[in-house]
Amino acid sequence: MDAIVVKRLTKTYKPLWPWEKPATVLSDVSLSVREGEIFGFLGHNGAGKTTTMKILLGLLRATNGQVELLGSPAENVAVRARIGYLPESPYFYDYLTAEEFLCFYGKLAGLDRETIQKRIPQLLERVSLTEARHRQLRKFSKGMLQRIGLAQALIHDPELVILDEPMSGLDPIGRKEVRDLILGLRDQGKTVFFSTHIISDVEMICDRVGILSRGKMLALGRIEDLVDAHTARSVEVVCDGVVGDDLHDVKKLAVRILQRGERCLIILSGQDHLEKVLAALRQAGGRLVSVIPHKGSLEEIFLEQTSRKA
Amino acid sequence: MKLLMVVAGNTFRETIRDKILYNLVLFAVLLIGASVLLGTLTIGEQARIVNDLGLAAINLVAVIIAIFVGIGLVTKEIERRTVYTILARPITRVQFVLGKYMGLGLIVMVNIAIMFVMFLGTIVLTGNAIHGSLFQAVELILVETLLVMAMALFFSTFSSSTLSATMTLGLFVIGHLTSDLKGIAEKSQSQLMEAALTALYYICPNLEMLNIKGQAASGLLVEFGYQATATAYGLLYAGLLLTGACVIFQRRDF
């Protein structure tokens, strides 16, 4: 079963004055997130990621389209007991301590006191905030707020976790901790839907991605499939004992040839002419060092897709 | 109901830790102190002056809390985006609005109770008698405060903090002048003006109905029927405003 189903979602803001144009921030967006997977929602700032998430959680009303969470319509308030949510740059109640804060969100999720008391120390340890458990949130740094925000999203052990830019404001160690936490959630069978504009985060942990730009879904699928479909694989051939300028046949077939002393680097656009190039190198007396097929990256796809639309 | 109480409890705790409340209580203490001081300067009228100033101070502080904390109940949650994580839980928007109202209502009750006890202490210390009318006046101050809180909450569901404060203050002032509105309407030469002022008279809350401080300061009890009618009127009006606030909040995008 799909944990999230979004069908032809559109959000248009009506203008304040009749002479102004309506602003469409989401246009015909469809996606599905499978149970137990990590789905990365990639897009520039202002692409419509947060708007989509807010519609999923009932904070915004869609102009058109259908949204289902864990088999229920998004308007169903009860289904939210099975969902955890962390907004972008979260800000919480200043005067609550970390423990009081988690207790409050636990109660809101309908947990009993005993379960809350059991979960709080576990979660505080998981987000490395055990020592700050009695500290008021107004004394927390941005990174600590982000981590306590993650803890509140997980206090009720939700099946689906929706995280809006969960790595923003974190230092490299903090980012790694969040990545590990997300991977840990998948290991427990949870579904994670998170947005980001940082491609490396997506590449490292996501099973599937969706690329959103200017309110439109440009690409959707497994990273490997997207890479295969959108980018040609180039090949790098490294050879010693030859001079690139002397290899007239190879020069015609290569995209680029670089010479570093005795070592020659030949870049081919694909594998089509690889055999011919290798034969030419052998004939010229070269010693083959390596042949590396170069795979395209998600970044290339992202830039290609978003710049095409722009 | 359980979720409503959770929100109310959190609102109570968060606001009580906000130092503004302590400052306001201090303000009340100073005002009651001033009433004692002024009372000693006026021979024979001390009891009435102490009662007058004490009740006025309680009323003023309670209304200030109602307006300035009341408008922040919802707008602060929206501006600071704490509302996102709360509404993402299995809680309805109506539960959220009513929970916030109940939380502040509890704070107002506790504050009025503390100020009233201080006030009664002041009366005893100055050697004056405690009249039953003072309890009647304070009960209606509480009703007025709950009504002003509902106004603040209503305006804050669709406007900014500044605008909500302005509108609540405006309605509070007009609410105390409704009988004047009726008088002006009757004397008006223009039919349009008469109709507009009469409409305003019926739409705006009649807060003077809840003001029996003058009578109470002199130790005169009001009839039980009046007290009950005024209380019912105030609570009904607050209920209507809360219903409006819930309807608007229900339709809002965040």
Q: State the helix-helix crossing angle for B46-79 and B161-175, rounded to 10 degrees.
A: 150
Tens digits of residue pLDDT in A116-160: 999 999 999 988 899 989 999 989 888 888 889 999 999 999 999
Give A101→chain B minimum CA distance, Å. Answer: 9
Domain boundaries, chain A: 2-228, 231-294
Residue A60 has what pLDDT?
92
Domain membership flag for residue B129: yes
pLDDT for A238 equals 92
Asked if A87 and B85 come within 8 Å (Cβ–Cβ), the reply is yes
pLDDT digits (tens, 9 = 90+) for A66-105: 999 998 998 889 999 999 999 987 778 888 899 999 999 9
Q: Pick A80's closest partner by Cβ from B6, B10, B90.
A: B90
pLDDT in tens, B42-84: 666 778 888 888 899 899 889 988 998 889 888 888 888 889 9
B151: in domain: yes
**Residue B81 forms contact with A (CB below 8 Å):** yes
Q: Is residue B56 part of a domain?
A: yes
Q: Predicted ipTM?
A: 0.77
Compare all CA atoms of chain A with the CA of B15 and give the residue at the minimum distance. Answer: A95
Topology of domain A231-294, CATH? Alpha-Beta Plaits (3.30.70)
Chain B within 8 Å of A1 (Cβ-Cβ)? no
d(CA B161, CA B76): 8
Task: Map residue B126 onto helix, strand or coil.
Answer: coil
CB burial readout A136-165, b (16+ within 10 A) else e: bbeebeebbbbbbbbbbbbbbebbbbbbbb
Domain count, chain B: 1
Q: What is the pTM of this model?
A: 0.82
Cβ neighbours of A83 in B, within 8 Å: 88
Per-residue pLDDT for A168 more than 70? Answer: yes
Two structure tokens written together for B87: 């509404």
- Please say whether the beta carbons of A168 and A201 come within 8 A: no
CB within 8 Å of chain B, chain A residues 86-105: 86-87, 89-96, 100, 104-105
Top pLDDT among B31 and B171 is at B171
Residues 10-49 of B with CB under 8 A from A: 10, 13-14, 17-18
Among partner residues A59, A92, A110, which is closest to B87 by beta-carbon distance?
A59
Name the token pair of A218. 């440009």
- Specify if B190 maps to a domain: no
Task: Compute the mean pLDDT over every residue in chain B, rounded to the nearest whole number.
Answer: 87
* Calpha distance B18→B76 (Å, rounded): 13
Q: Å from A92 to nearest chain B CA?
A: 6
Size of interface A-B (CB pairs under 8 A): 75
The pLDDT tens digits of the residues spanning B192-245 come to 888 888 888 888 899 999 999 888 888 888 899 999 999 999 999 999 999 999
End-to-end, the C-alpha distance of chain A in Å comes to 35
Residues B137 and B59: their CA atoms lie apart, in Å, by 10
CA quadruple B60, B63, B67, B69: dihedral, nearest 10: 90
Q: Tell me whether residues B17 and A86 touch, CB distance under 8 A.
A: no
Query: Is A91's CB within 8 Å of B18's CB?
Result: no
pLDDT in tens, A180-220: 889 999 999 999 999 988 888 888 889 899 999 889 998 88
> Can you spell out the DSSP letters for chain A?
-EEEEEEEEEEEEPPSSTTSPPEEEEEEEEEEEETT-EEEEEE-TTSSHHHHHHHHTTSS--SEEEEEETTEETT-GGGGGGEEEE-SS----TTSBHHHHHHHHHHHTT--HHHHHHHHHHHHHHTT-GGGTTSBGGG--HHHHHHHHHHHHHTT--SEEEEESTTTT--HHHHHHHHHHHHHHHHTT-EEEEEES-HHHHHHH-SEEEEEETTEEEEEEEHHHHHHHH-PPEEEEEEES--GGG-HHHHHH-SEEEEETTEEEEEESSSTTHHHHHHHHHHTT-EEEEEEEEPP-HHHHHHHHHHHH-
Q: Scanning every residue of chain B, which has its alpha carbon at the shortest distance from the alpha carbon of A63?
A: B253
Q: Phi/psi of residue B219, each to 5°?
A: 85, 15
Q: Which domain holds residue B14?
A: 2-176+211-251
Interfacial A residues in 240-269 facing B (CB < 8 Å): none
Q: Which two tokens stand for residue B50?
A: 């102490």
| Average pLDDT of the residues in A147-174 | 90
One of 3.40.50.720, 3.40.50.300, 3.40.50.1820, 3.10.20.740 is the CATH number of A2-228, namely 3.40.50.300
Residue A80, pLDDT score: 92
Closest CA to A40 of A231, A215, A204, A171: A204
Asked whether residue B188 is assigned to any structural domain, the reply reads no
